[in-house]
Chains A and B, each alone.
Chain A
Amino acid sequence: MRLCELTLEQLSKMLERKECSSLELTRSVFERIHEVENKIHAYLWLNEEMALSQAKEADRLRQAGEKLNPLLGIPVALKDIFCTRGIPTTCASKILENFVPPFDATVVLKLKERGVVIVGKTNMDEFAMGSTTEGSAFGPTHNPWALEYIPGGSSGGSAAALSADMCIASLGTDTGGAIRQPAACCSVCGIKPTYGRVSRYGVIAYASSLDQVGPFGKTVRDTAMMLQAIAGFDPLDSTSVPREVPGYLSACTGEVKGLKIGLPREYFVPGMDQQVKSAVQAAAKELEKAGAELLEVSLPHTEYCIATYYIIAPSEASSNLARYDGVRYGLRVPGNPNILLNMYKATRTAGFSPEVRRRIIIGTYTLSAGYYDAYYLKAQKVRTLIRRDFEEAFQKCDVLLTPVLPTPPYKLGTKINDPLEMYLSDIFTVSCNLAGLPGMTVPCGFSQEHLPIGMQLLARPFEEEKIFQVAYAYEQATDWHKRKPPL
């Protein structure tokens, strides 16, 4: 077994016992990158020399007994949405192609303080707008399990890099499923924490009331260890919540006796892929066998989630993306004649892809005078109804179990020209962001075509521990997390 194939938890122990060094581990990760990255394209930026010197520094710190913590010397990949001081940060957009941030996002700073090795910046849909990673201005990422299939999106690079052992853990962001969908498509774990649990400072904004940072891990416990490192209040993000962070690893007990797991009726609909449905139902049975109690619940406003989400997200995006104007950073394209207004238009038109422009135009329209009440305000009211559905369901159960996607991953190129069709595949993941809940993907099987299938666990706000508890109990009973893509 090569070092890069091991889990964060295993490697953390080996480093602690000095059974391997961070330098050896980082070399193993880059050896893997040299073998498979040209087939996958998970990374937008890699710097082996920088990583190796960070690894040497981590080994030196360990030798000196400084900064000792479970992440010291662990190679981590970051979605290219996180500002990294001195390292290019593009959000997979032409408009930020040459942007080098003068500061670090809080989550990056937290990882640096723990002495991780930064492997590289991972590919994504431009400005996190998409569910396939085909929206990257720098070319799509391929699914390590089947190269002609989507890795999911928008954090597709972070999930693909992890599943192909090109890093030991990674970070993504999730606005409507952008951690949970790629985790499902690539057969790794990924959690979107409660809104406000993790700082968004220095994270390039898409839809500010929905965006949240979260980790990917090879196992449930690896994911818990990563969340532990990044969670907590940050005075630089006024939407982060001043609330104590519990110990997530200690929630992984393997014990689910007496826990009530709800299966929302509306998430198991006729017409959905039978293989996905039966994989998630089999997972529910497994948890029942372990002592959990299953019950059916209802989330009656589920069918309104997509419309609500695709009004709110583009509205907020149209405002957030107004900052890319060719003045302070990023691309500038002269207008003709070159006055300020024409420069703005030429820059934004050349710098944004058609999908990003489409969402900006939708959002500008739904916020414009005369339409605000009919679209944005209406969607915010429906958002209240959606949130109430969850409040009621959580009166009856502790955790909800659902599919992540209505189908297994599909082929690259299938939905890229049909935005509405792509939006509809977000049906099971957007509600969690609208309600601000924590949600996690755990691998739960494979289709007949050997494509990964994931299940989603949702809990009340700030009850990530319950999710880890159920996820770990399930993982203990199965071996999906031990399988490797046939690369």
Chain B
Amino acid sequence: MILPDLFNTNTPDNNTAMFGRLFCAALAVLVSYNFVQQYRYFLTQPSKLYGKGPKLLGLVGFPGLNRYQFLSCGAGFILCLLFVVLNIYPYAAIAIALICYFLYFSQINSLAYVQRKANLIPIVLFILLFSPSLDKPLHFASPTWELTLIKIVLIQVYFSAGIQKIRSSGLGWLNGKYLQAYLIENSLWTDRNAVIAIASNTIMCAVLSLLVLTFELTFGVVLFLPQLTFIYVGFALLFHLGTLITMRINYLKYIGPVYLVFFTDLAFRLKAIIGI
């Protein structure tokens, strides 16, 4: 892939519109599914313990909401996502969804499966807001850069996590002892004996450390070698399932919809088979 090609080439189908609809549909389902629990969390007034939420780009803080405002923002967010799915004023819907996102999620940012894990949602929505093919019919061609940028945003999560490991610990992170210590520390909170069993095997910890770091630093190759995409996506799924089971780190919930960026071709094929 050569950089100028990104802006001059098109995909045969409107992959961006397909992704936009799949992403917004998946997100609407997930936020609806978690709505009650997130409301319960909001009612515990987490800001009293954690302090105020993050500032947009480190500059703009978000106001605290009362329960009615919180519920309205959440409902407004879901409604706007459904408008995008149905291709009804999609740009206006995404713009309003972005505002609702920041107001709603800033109140519950300290929630374990939201903090950092939902950060890609506004970035992806922002890219879609400026994607010229979002409101075009699905059989129209779309420029390559739109989905490439979304893939880059997703890849950065892993690449940066890998870089931070090298920066903080050097290649020492590969010896397995750091991962072992993190797993054991986590087990002191969860009392999961299976985690201790995994962590007590230093060789397994070293192998896992190597696999994780290699995956994180090389995920970007899928941009240049798309035939490796499903190997990496499969590993990512296993990686997130592993961290969820052993350390209760749930990235799958809100990063999952972004992974649909790799499944637009499959969606078109399914669409053709079903005959929609």
**Do A and B interact with each other, yes or no?**
no
